């Protein structure tokens, strides 16, 4: 694809100055990383949290950048230079313009929230696949689905960068897709990674205690989530398509999100005030059967193969989205029923044992509460819930106390262990959790313990388990690495659970014994 620099910068609202030939051809993609620049590409230098992209301009030119965009006043570059007031904003719009604004050629659904984003995104995608005969794409923390192509995103990633999102959307358009559902994190929204994406439907799952280390306050966290809903009123209108917001009416923050302008505002939930709600839910260990009432009219019963009340809410969100864009009940029923499991979300691990073993991504107090509550109906006679989890280093410290307290109250035995300690002391993290457990009646050695190595912790939980129990490892889910110091070590809770069930702990972390 080829664009001139003048074509690209015409979209920018904040150009300060331009030097050099603006008619030069940009023949490779926009990038904010000098190492990814290809000859003919456009390099956008912006200030990050730890590095300043302006320091890498010389290297980008050396690698063949045809032009540079940045915020500093710079002279004497051998290539054209465009100074802007906000390089973060420029990166998103330039990436979109280079790929001919692919989001304007599809129906785009964005999903945000503290918990349930990936599950809701997956359910919506499954319904869209059924309704469009496979012409729906998805970008989530688990995978990017571009049609027949599937890209695993299971490492420590959140929302991809703006250039990557636009290139993935462009591939979807090239593959003939008509719809795409995007999982959108508060980090990605706050950092402008979704700039240049035109949203048609915005979805909120919930807002609970998380990421206050990054956002600084609850108000800032809400505002970051609100960016998605604000994007509705600022997005390109496609053939007079209505802009729709879909909000969890049961969430305490529902009113905040309902205030953002949209053509249609819909609430879903289990309460009477929701536009779309369920009145009757029959739970099973493997899922549920539930009815749906849409604006007071019955839409029938639906089957869900995912356990827990929280997944009923995720399914209601998916239903509401589908109905709002004209998808019929039969396609919704088919789409929901086709989702057998989601990687790392209440994922059953079966090696023929006489108890239930589960891996879940729950890494917030609310998500842990939901996971432990969902585990209860799975117990056999006299069964116990045995929970294994930790709390991440260099992240929201308050979670350590809250999660420990939650587990003591809802699990029968808790094992506190490593979960991405990063450069913090793992012993200090575990001590904080243990102290919190004691304040709500925990007794170390009786209803909780601490084991530094996560492989050993999961193995110990399996050793403790007996017939009818549920062993649930929370916090890592689908992720395939764990951070100690500044190093990412290979790690997968699912493999650790399988290894433990086969008789030995998984030993890939620096805390592992060599036995």
Angle at 370 between CA 377 and CA 254, to 5 degrees: 135
pLDDT at residue number 214:
55
Given pLDDT bands bounded at 50, 70 and 90, which one contains residue 220?
A: confident
- Cα 271 to Cα 268: distance, rounded to the nearest angstrom: 8
Give the rounded distance of the alpha carbon of 244 from its chain centre.
21
Q: Tell me how far apart the alpha carbons of residues 431 and 426 are, in angstroms, rounded to a whole number.
A: 9
Bigger pLDDT: 140 vs 8: 8
Task: Provide the strand spans (E) within 405-480.
Answer: 413-416, 448-450, 470-474
Instruction: Give how far the C-alpha of residue 253 lies from the chain's centroid of Cα atoms, to the nearest Å.
Output: 19
Model confidence at 155: pLDDT above 50: no
User: Which domains are seen in the chain, by residue range?
Assistant: 3-98 (3.40.1390.10), 102-338 (3.40.1190.10), 347-501 (3.90.190.20)
Whether the per-residue pLDDT at 433 is higher than 90: the answer is yes
Predicted TM-score (pTM) of the model is: 0.85
DSSP letter for each residue of 112-158: E-SSSHHHHHHHHHHHHHHHHTS-EEEE-SSEEE-SS-EEE--SS--
Nearest to 214 by CA among 394, 403, 420: 394
Other beta carbons within 10 Å of 11 = 15
Mean pLDDT for the stretch of residues 6-18 = 94
Whether 39 and 64 have beta carbons less than 8 Å apart is answered as yes
Of 180-194, 298-312, 402-416, the least confident: 180-194
Question: pLDDT tens digits for 444-466?
Answer: 999 999 999 999 999 999 999 99
What are the pLDDT digits (tens) for 105-154?
Answer: 999 999 999 889 999 999 999 999 999 999 999 998 888 899 888 887 65
Residue 514: predicted pLDDT: 65
Confidence of residue 500 (pLDDT cuts 50, 70, 90): very high
What is the pairing mode between strands 264-269 and 244-248? parallel
**Is residue 92 over pLDDT 60?**
yes
Quote the CA–CA distance of 65 and 459 in Å, as a whole number.
52
Q: β-strands 179-183, 136-139: how paired?
A: parallel
Work out the average pLDDT over 178-195.
88
Evaluate if residue 18 carries a pLDDT over 70.
yes
Is residue 305's pLDDT more than 90? yes
Q: Which of 127, 161, 163, 157 is nearest to 140 (CA)?
A: 157
Residue 236 DSSP label = P
**Which of 64-73, 166-175, 209-218, 417-426 shows the lowest per-residue confidence on average (mean pLDDT)?**
209-218
Torsion of CA 324, 328, 334, 340, to 10 degrees: 10
The DSSP-derived string for 163-209 is HHHHHHHHHHHHTT--EEEEE--HHHHHTTTTTT---SEEEE----S
The residues, any chain, with a CB within 8 Å of residue 171's CB and separated by 6 or more, are 146, 147, 149
**88/111 Cα distance (integer angstroms):** 22
Q: How far is CA 235 from CA 183, 238, 262, 344, in A?
A: 17, 9, 11, 33
How long, in residues, is the chain? 515
Residue 212 has pLDDT above 70, yes or no: no
- Residue of higher predicted confidence among 160 and 360: 360
**pLDDT confidence of residue 244:** 97
Which residue bears the tokens 């992240």? 395
Class of residue 469 by CB neighbours under 10 A (exposed 0-12, middle 13-18, buried 19+):
buried
> What pLDDT, on the 0 to 100 scale, is given for residue 286?
75
How does DSSP classify residue 345? B
Work out the mean pLDDT of the chain and round it to a whole number: 92
d(CA 330, CA 338): 12
């Amino acid at each position: 694809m080829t664009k001139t620099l003048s074509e690209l910068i015409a979209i920018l609202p904040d150009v300060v100055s331009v030097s050099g030939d603006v008619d030069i051809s940009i023949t490779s993609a926009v990038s904010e990383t000098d190492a990814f620049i290809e000859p003919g590409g456009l390099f956008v230098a912006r200030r990050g949290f730890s590095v300043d992209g302006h320091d890498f301009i010389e290297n980008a030119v050396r690698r063949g950048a045809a032009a540079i965009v940045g915020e500093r006043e710079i002279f004497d570059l051998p290539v054209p230079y465009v100074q802007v007031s906000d390089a973060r904003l420029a990166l998103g719009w330039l990436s979109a313009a280079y790929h001919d604004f692919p989001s304007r050629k599809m129906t785009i659904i964005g999903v945000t929230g503290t918990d349930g984003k990936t599950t809701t995104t997956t359910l919506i995608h499954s319904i869209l696949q059924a309704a469009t005969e496979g012409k729906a794409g998805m970008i989530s923390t688990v995978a990017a689905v571009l049609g027949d192509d599937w890209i695993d995103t299971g490492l420590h990633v959140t929302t991809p960068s703006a250039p990557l999102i636009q290139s993935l959307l462009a591939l979807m358009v090239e593959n003939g897709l008509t719809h795409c559902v995007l999982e959108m994190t508060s980090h990605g929204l706050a950092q402008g990674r979704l700039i240049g994406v035109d949203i048609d439907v915005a979805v909120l799952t919930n807002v609970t205690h998380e990421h206050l280390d990054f956002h600084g306050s609850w108000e800032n966290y809400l505002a970051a989530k609100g960016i998605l809903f604000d994007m509705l009123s600022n997005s390109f209108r496609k053939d007079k398509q209505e802009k729709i917001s879909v909000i969890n009416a049961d969430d305490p923050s529902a009113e905040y999100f309902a205030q953002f302008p949209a053509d249609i505002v819909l609430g879903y939930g289990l309460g009477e005030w929701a536009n779309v709600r369920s009145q009757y839910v029959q739970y099973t260990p493997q899922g549920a059967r539930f009815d749906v009432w849409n604006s007071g009219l019955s839409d029938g019963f639906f089957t869900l193969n995912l356990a827990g009340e929280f997944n009923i809410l995720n399914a209601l969100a998916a239903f509401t989205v589908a109905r709002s864009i004209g998808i019929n009940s039969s396609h919704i029923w088919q789409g929901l029923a086709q989702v057998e499991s989601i990687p790392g979300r209440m994922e059953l691990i079966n090696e023929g044992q006489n108890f239930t073993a589960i891996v879940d991504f729950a890494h917030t107090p609310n998500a842990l509460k939901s996971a432990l509550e969902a585990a209860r109906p799975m117990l056999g006679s006299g069964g116990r819930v045995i929970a294994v989890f930790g709390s991440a280093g260099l992240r929201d410290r308050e979670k350590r106390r809250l999660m420990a307290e939650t587990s003591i109250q809802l699990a029968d035995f808790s094992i506190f262990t490593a979960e991405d300690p990063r450069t913090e002391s793992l012993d200090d993290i575990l001590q904080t959790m243990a102290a919190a457990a004691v304040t709500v009646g925990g007794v170390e050695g009786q209803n909780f313990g601490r084991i530094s190595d996560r492989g050993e912790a999961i193995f110990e939980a399996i050793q403790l388990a007996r017939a009818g129990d549920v062993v649930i490892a929370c916090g890592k889910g689908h992720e395939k690495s764990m951070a100690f110091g500044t190093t990412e070590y290979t790690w997968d809770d699912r493999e650790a659970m399988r290894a433990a069930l086969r008789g030995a702990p998984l030993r890939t972390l620096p805390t592992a014994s060599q036995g």
